[in-house]
Structure 1
Amino acid sequence: MYSETPQRTAVLVVEDEPLLRMDAVDMIEDAGFKTYQAGSADEALEVIRNSDDIGILFTDIDMPGSMDGLSLAACVHSDWPAISILIASGVVGVTDEKMPKGSKFYAKPYATSQIVRDMETISAAHVQGG
């Protein structure tokens, strides 16, 4: 019997702290996802423009540069609506009204198992065309 590994959408990890970004990338790659990474929102937008397989944006909020993670999420939601958005931060008081519709927030420190489960669910929906 032939068993094919399910296709998964790629994940863009945006985190300005290199060690935190590396930990997140390792967690996501260990779950079987292809990853891209960026240290700022500006870099993330460049990665998205040059990649056609990104289906999930996993971003921090507090970052240097021209925009923070919430502004990045709003931009991605507007310009690439097919990309699902997951936001993680230690920032307190992030409400649904501040996030793009359909995005999900994780307070740091977050449970990696929950993020991986959510990414698997999102990826399955993307692969099925949902």
Structure 2
Amino acid sequence: MSTKRTHEASVILVVEDDDLVRMNAAEMLEDAGFAVVEARHADEAWLILHERSDIGVLFTDVDLPGSMCGMTLAGRVHDAWPDIRLVVTSGGQRLTDQDIPDHGLFVPKPYSAEQVVAAMHRVA
């Protein structure tokens, strides 16, 4: 199932069920020069990951509707595509970077554009 992603892959998949939060996160990242794809929940993100080979970073909320939460999605992505970097966020749960698979990062909500952009540069 694993498809090797190129190191040049710079598309960030933003997974967030709150439309306003997702649009704001995407705008922050696009303003910083990143290409962004958006998903409303983990199931949609999983389909996108199977359709595209240019995703380099998964930026996901923890609490999502559907068949899996953001942490489950992050674990599945790590197993299937270990070269995709992981950044997880939550306003309701306080995690540490060590809780994220494969040396991923945790960014607590509410976050600033500077925090999100710095996290993307750290995992790249």
- Whether these two folds match at TM > 0.5 is yes
Question: Match for residue 4 of structure 2?
Answer: none
Question: Match for residue 31 of structure 2?
Answer: 30
RMSD: 1.6
Deviations 1:49-94 (A, max 9, x none): 1111110000000011000000000000110100000001112342
Maintained 8 Å contact 2:105/2:119: no
Shift of 1:33: 0.8
Cα distance in 1 between the residues matched to 2:122 and 2:115:
11
**Partner amino acid, structure 2, of 1:75:** R
Cα distance in 1 between the residues matched to 2:90 and 2:46:
19
Fraction of identical pairs, as percent: 44
Q: Which residues of structure 2 form unaligned runs of 5+?
A: 1-7
Question: Match for residue 89 of structure 1?
Answer: 90
Question: Match for residue 107 of structure 1?
Answer: 108
**Partner amino acid, structure 2, of 1:71:** T
Q: Which residues of structure 1 form unaligned runs of 5+?
A: 1-6, 124-130
Shift of 1:114: 2.2
What does 1:1-130 align with in structure 2 at a 5 Å threshold? Answer: 9-96=10-97, 98-123=99-124
Which has the higher Rg, Structure 1 or Structure 2?
Answer: 1
Cα distance in 2 between the residues matched to 1:67 and 1:106:
20
Relative to the length of structure 1, the TM-score reads: 0.82
Shift of 1:97: 5.5
Maintained 8 Å contact 1:57/1:84: yes
